[in-house]
Amino acid sequence: SSVSPQIGSYKDVSHESLSLFWLLEPRIEILVLGTGDRVERLHPATLKQMRDCGIAVEVQDTPNACATFNFLTSENRMVAAGLIPP
């Protein structure tokens, strides 16, 4: 079994660091990523790999990502969040 890498900033978000999210059961449909104080651009290939696994990715600053996660949860959507503290 492998250990997930430490995520210190949005620059550490990779296909490997997101692998946990496509192993979850039941399967999630949306991953909300909070990138800290600001919305940061993730590598397009990383986002494509998640879409190819059937998971939509919403990238926002962390306060908005928390609000989005709560809203989607209230709608009974299958959602997970990866949050980097602001």
**For 9-37, what is each residue's pLDDT tens digit?**
777 788 787 888 878 888 999 999 999 99
Of 77, 84, 86, 85, the C-alpha closest to 55 is 77
Q: What is the pLDDT of residues 36-69, one digit of tens each?
A: 999 999 889 989 988 998 999 999 999 999 999 9
pLDDT of residue 12: 77
Which residues span the domain enclosing 46? 30-83
Q: H-type helices in the chain, by residue range?
A: 44-52, 62-74
Q: Count of domains in the chain? A: 1
Residue 63 lies in a domain: yes
- Does the CA dihedral 28-29-34-35 come out positive or negative? positive
Residue 45 lies in a domain: yes
Residue 79 lies in a domain: yes
Q: In the chain, where do the E strands start and end?
A: 30-35, 56-60, 79-84
Residue 69 lies in a domain: yes
Residue 12 lies in a domain: no
pLDDT of residue 32: 96
Beta bridge partners of 57: 31
DSSP state at residue 73: H
pLDDT higher than 50, residue 1: no
